[in-house]
Structure 1
């Protein structure tokens, strides 16, 4: 049996969270798709946390570097920050909602240090408290997407309201990294926060999931990836060098190495074969 090409889902419904949640959650993405044959998608790495709450046929999340870090035969899972690409594989009818969370948001919503989820996909049933499983069941029972998005609003607002605060300097560190697309040096960032470089690296790694230097690389890659795959971009051979310079890479070969490491393909190959469009820009 051959794998089916990674086409778009049969239907997508985008929901905007309540304005009070916008700093934490970018959007809700409801989906339904049917795959008569095994459907495989490449998932590019990224400095974000993916939460899937589904109630259709199960899927596999496979990390080619380490099989035990994946999740198998699950309909709902959390994938922490990954510093390498992985694959999803499913067959049948999949229905659910996808949320992309910044690491600071995921740290508060999930209520655990994100290092526990680094380079891992975990069935939500294995997470403490069981609240995500109960939320998934309520979403499945809801009659339409507006009601589902309202349930998500209420559940996430409650989690954020009850969450213990994280050191605000970690939020500042994250914001500085994202504002600069990862171009700020770790030593400079630590000095701005009044921490040693080691203290910043250890705390950031524990709470956010990856060291600040790796996070900076992923943020730079995300910008390049989003730019290259935007509709109508049409990046040609000369354009890759321009893109590399625009996104803060030393040269084009540096950009190509990051694409190979974080997306599993050279940029030109990626645009031909495709990958999952969850990587935010």
Structure 2
């Protein structure tokens, strides 16, 4: 990515159900950089500082639309990208009220200090050791089955099939999703399908491959979540779609 240093690591196996990845982002530019954040189906705990801001921690809720933001010059950001079960079983909180928003976290959250943001290996090692101690001892088996299928299929299955496989009614699932995450299961699956199209778009393939009804449906969904047409997202001028730039190609 232009003027951005980016690195990503998987979590320890014990965290795989709630943590998707650890990542580090650092700007080398001397000026602020405009970027567009895309919905990607994740919650993010961010630890960051810049030339003008001291270390601070924030929790980023689910995104349902593209957001134009400015990445400050000389930003150092370390983060933990979370799967949805982390809200209930790791963070022990609901995130419905921060859809398309953020929440400030207390200083020293998860024991992370400025020193931990000097060494990505140390950051990952620290959290791989700390986070398992914060996990609830057990997860509702219905939720385990539900999330396993959602993530294994990148949101491709309809709600009624997911409900049947989880042994949980569609109405109860949607009540849970709205209460904890602020979106319906159908919307969340649509976001995951959109995200799953990143590698194919990076490869220049501008047709649907993730269970979209047709080309028009694909274009409509990309425009809804990215605020841009598939060909514009694929072109990604100046790496302004930051998650798209960081996503590994096929």
TM-score (norm 1): 0.76
* Deviation larger for 43-52 or 103-112: 103-112
Q: Gaps spanning 5+ residues in structure 1: where?
A: 1-5, 60-72
Output the aligned Cα RMSD.
2.6
Q: Quick check: 1:147 aligned with 2:142?
A: no
Aligned to 1:251: 214
Indicate if the aligned counterparts of 1:46 and 1:222 stay in contact, CA closer than 8 A. yes
Indicate if the aligned counterparts of 2:34 and 2:71 stay in contact, CA closer than 8 A. yes
Aligned to 1:88: 69
Indicate if the aligned counterparts of 2:41 and 2:62 stay in contact, CA closer than 8 A. yes
Aligned to 2:44: 50
Aligned counterpart for 2:171 among listed residues 181, 192, 198: 198
- Give the distance between the partners of 1:191 and 1:98, measured in 2 at CA: 35
> How many equivalent pairs are there?
243
TM-score (norm 2): 0.84
Indicate if the aligned counterparts of 1:55 and 1:76 stay in contact, CA closer than 8 A. no
- Give the distance between the partners of 1:103 and 1:170, measured in 2 at CA: 10
- Give the distance between the partners of 2:149 and 2:69, measured in 1 at CA: 32
Q: Gaps spanning 5+ residues in structure 2: where?
A: none
CA displacement 1:107-137 (0-9 Å, x = unmatched): 3221102323322222223xxxx552x633x
CA displacement 1:58-114 (0-9 Å, x = unmatched): 68xxxxxxxxxxxxx984322111111113313321112122111112432211023
* Deviation larger for 184-193 or 266-275: 184-193
Aligned to 2:243: 277
Alignment of 1:162-201 (within 5 A): 163=136, 165-201=138-174
Aligned to 1:23: 17
Q: Quick check: 1:36 aligned with 2:25?
A: no
